[in-house]
């Protein structure tokens, strides 16, 4: 009788149930890690199975659930304390679902995660000392031939914000060796990626994470490499809070598979419109990564995703419908108004309406940081100047202080324009209105304020024509005080 035939017999079904119970109880007891060796019930099961399974050599041919259970049992049995050399330096723990085909090469230390593209383990090479991360991707036979080509592209990426790929293999099963990222210790809890990072994040922390992630994407884009699957679980965190992008090329490999729809389903919430409806929005390109980075940023800032739904169809419709837009951050928290404008461009449905490059995104992030700093400085300046104006009787000093306020307000307005922060711009124009002398300038400024209010209501970005008109108006107001 072959092992496949034996596995279908009624006796083996009973044994399989007992094996599953041992498997489950051990998993629950040890939090995902299996100790070597078995209790008395485990030994009874093996005596019932008999030497037939123990002597079967071609265990890798066994398919399905029975195969997974038996491989795990044989793996633990073969490395239990009663079967191995007592002086062996091998770890006393084995990861339950680590592929048996790789046990001759690696010592598994910990299961780091599992997702749509496969499982990731912390390991050491046999005879090695440094930990590695090994990913075992889920690939159909038709997609395996693309693995080495795409991994060679990843291997050539060398940047502080990109996980380093060491090597990739097809045999005995497809697997990838990567840099091991230890995770960030947040109040005693190890946060391995942005998926488990608490949200909403502090705006300063969110900007730092997105900027550094953007630097990694820019490095790839400068080499004409597009990721296409920027999402929280693909942004790992180091112990010093540095984000590193992983899984380069796997989305492209997954697209070669006949099960692409299931892979898409796992990342749908972070998909760009063109990934869902190519006919309407065109093919993916570098701006696809920019959109996905925007989704990541939006989630970090607001604590929610731009589009949600109870079914994939609902989510897809919201992402692709040009009349459905994300809630502006200022509607979630008024203190986030400075971010409204950047998301209008990051999350634009049409690629043509987004930032054209990562350079522009990074420039916008820098401008937001400058605006945040300048707003605080302006608040301090306004407070001090107001106090001085209350007690000052010197006309020249009053004019100088007012001129300083006008200059600071115009600089702040221009910063708001740069990042499309319409709410911040509106506040600044309202402030500036108090220091306009001529009726013509006041009238034009009030018109500008009304128009910005309209743009906010309709969710329309500040256009180039509006920018030029405001710059002309600002120069006229400046001249009033010079």
Read off the pLDDT of residues 376-392 as tens digits, 9 standing for 90 and up: 887 787 778 778 877 88
Which residue, of 84, 103, 134, is where some domain finishes? 84
Q: What is the pTM of this model?
A: 0.67
Which residue, of 55, 84, 113, is where some domain finishes? 84
pLDDT at residue 74, as a whole number: 45
Domains contained in the chain, number: 2
| Within-domain flag for 200 | no
User: Residue 41 and residue 33: Cα distance in Å, rounded?
Assistant: 19
| Within-domain flag for 397 | yes
| Within-domain flag for 285 | no
| Within-domain flag for 16 | yes
pLDDT at residue 308, as a whole number: 92
Instruction: Say which DSSP state 21 is in.
Output: H
Q: How many residues does the chain have?
A: 482
Residues pairing with 236 in the sheet: 193, 244
pLDDT at residue 142, as a whole number: 67
User: Which DSSP helix (H) or strand (E) runs through 242?
Assistant: none
Which residues are identified as catalytic?
A: 229
Each residue's pLDDT tens digit, 156-187: 999 999 999 999 888 898 899 999 999 999 99
DSSP secondary structure of 183-205: -EEETTEEE-BTTSS-SSPPHHH
- 226 phi and psi angles, rounded to 5 deg: -115, 140
pLDDT at residue 9, as a whole number: 55
pLDDT at residue 254, as a whole number: 59
Instruction: Say which DSSP state 421 is in.
Output: -
| Within-domain flag for 423 | yes
Rounded (5°) CA angle 120-126-127: 135
User: Residue 345 and residue 294: Cα distance in Å, rounded?
Assistant: 9
Range of the domain at 472: 371-480
Instruction: Say which DSSP state 243 is in.
Output: E
Which residue, of 84, 107, 137, is where some domain finishes? 84
| Within-domain flag for 58 | yes
- Tracing tokens 């589009």 back to the chain, one arrives at 307
| Within-domain flag for 17 | yes
User: Residue 154 and residue 455: Cα distance in Å, rounded?
Assistant: 42
Residues of the chain whose pLDDT is less than 70? Answer: 1-96, 116, 142, 251-266
User: Residue 295 and residue 304: Cα distance in Å, rounded?
Assistant: 9
pLDDT at residue 330, as a whole number: 87
| Within-domain flag for 299 | no
């Amino acid at each position: 009788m072959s092992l496949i035939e034996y596995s279908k017999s009624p006796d083996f079904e009973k044994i399989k149930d007992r094996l599953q119970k041992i498997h489950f109880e051990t998993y629950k007891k040890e939090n995902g890690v299996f100790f070597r060796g078995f209790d008395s019930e485990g030994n009874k099961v093996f005596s019932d199975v008999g030497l037939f399974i123990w002597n079967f050599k071609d265990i890798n041919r066994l398919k399905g659930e029975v195969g997974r259970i038996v491989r795990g049992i044989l793996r633990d049995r073969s490395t239990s304390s009663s079967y191995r050399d007592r002086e062996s330096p091998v770890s006393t723990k084995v990861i339950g679902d680590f592929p048996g085909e790789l046990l001759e090469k690696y010592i598994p230390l910990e299961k780091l995660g599992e997702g749509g593209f496969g499982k990731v383990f912390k390991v050491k090479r046999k005879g090695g000392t440094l930990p590695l991360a090994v990913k075992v991707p889920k690939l159909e036979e038709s997609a395996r031939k693309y693995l080495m080509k795409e991994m060679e592209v990843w291997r050539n990426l060398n940047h502080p914000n990109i996980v380093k790929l060491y090597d990739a293999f097809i045999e005995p099963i497809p697997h990838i060796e990567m840099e091991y990222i230890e995770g960030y210790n947040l109040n005693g809890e190890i946060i391995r990626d942005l998926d488990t990072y608490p949200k909403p994040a502090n705006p300063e922390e969110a900007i730092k994470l997105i900027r550094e992630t953007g630097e990694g994407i820019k490095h790839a884009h400068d080499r004409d490499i597009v990721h296409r699957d920027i999402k929280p679980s693909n942004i790992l965190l180091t112990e010093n809070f540095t984000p590193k992008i992983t899984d380069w090329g796997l989305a492209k490999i997954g697209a070669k598979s006949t099960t692409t729809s299931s892979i898409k389903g796992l990342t749908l919430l972070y998909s760009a419109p063109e990934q869902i409806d190519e006919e309407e929005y065109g093919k993916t390109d570098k701006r696809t990564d920019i959109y996905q980075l925007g989704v990541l940023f939006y989630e970090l800032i607001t604590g929610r995703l731009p589009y949600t739904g109870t079914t994939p169809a609902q989510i897809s419709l919201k992402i692709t419908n040009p009349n459905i837009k994300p809630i502006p951050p200022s509607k979630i928290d008024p203190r986030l108004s400075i971010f409204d404008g950047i998301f209008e461009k990051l999350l634009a449905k049409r690629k043509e309406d987004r930032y054209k490059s990562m350079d522009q995104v990074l420039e916008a992030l820098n401008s937001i940081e400058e605006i945040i700093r300048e707003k605080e400085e302006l608040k301090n300046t306004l407070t001090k100047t107001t106090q001085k104006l209350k007690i000052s009787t010197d006309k020249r000093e009053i004019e100088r202080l007012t001129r300083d306020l006008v200059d600071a307000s115009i600089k702040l307005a221009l910063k708001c324009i740069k990042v499309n922060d319409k709410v911040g711009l509106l506040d600044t124009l309202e402030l500036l209105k108090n220091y306009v002398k001529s009726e013509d300038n006041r009238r034009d400024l009030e018109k500008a304020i009304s128009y910005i209010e309209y743009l906010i209501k309709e969710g329309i970005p500040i256009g180039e024509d509006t920018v030029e008109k405001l710059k002309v108006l600002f120069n006229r107001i400046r001249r009033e005080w010079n």
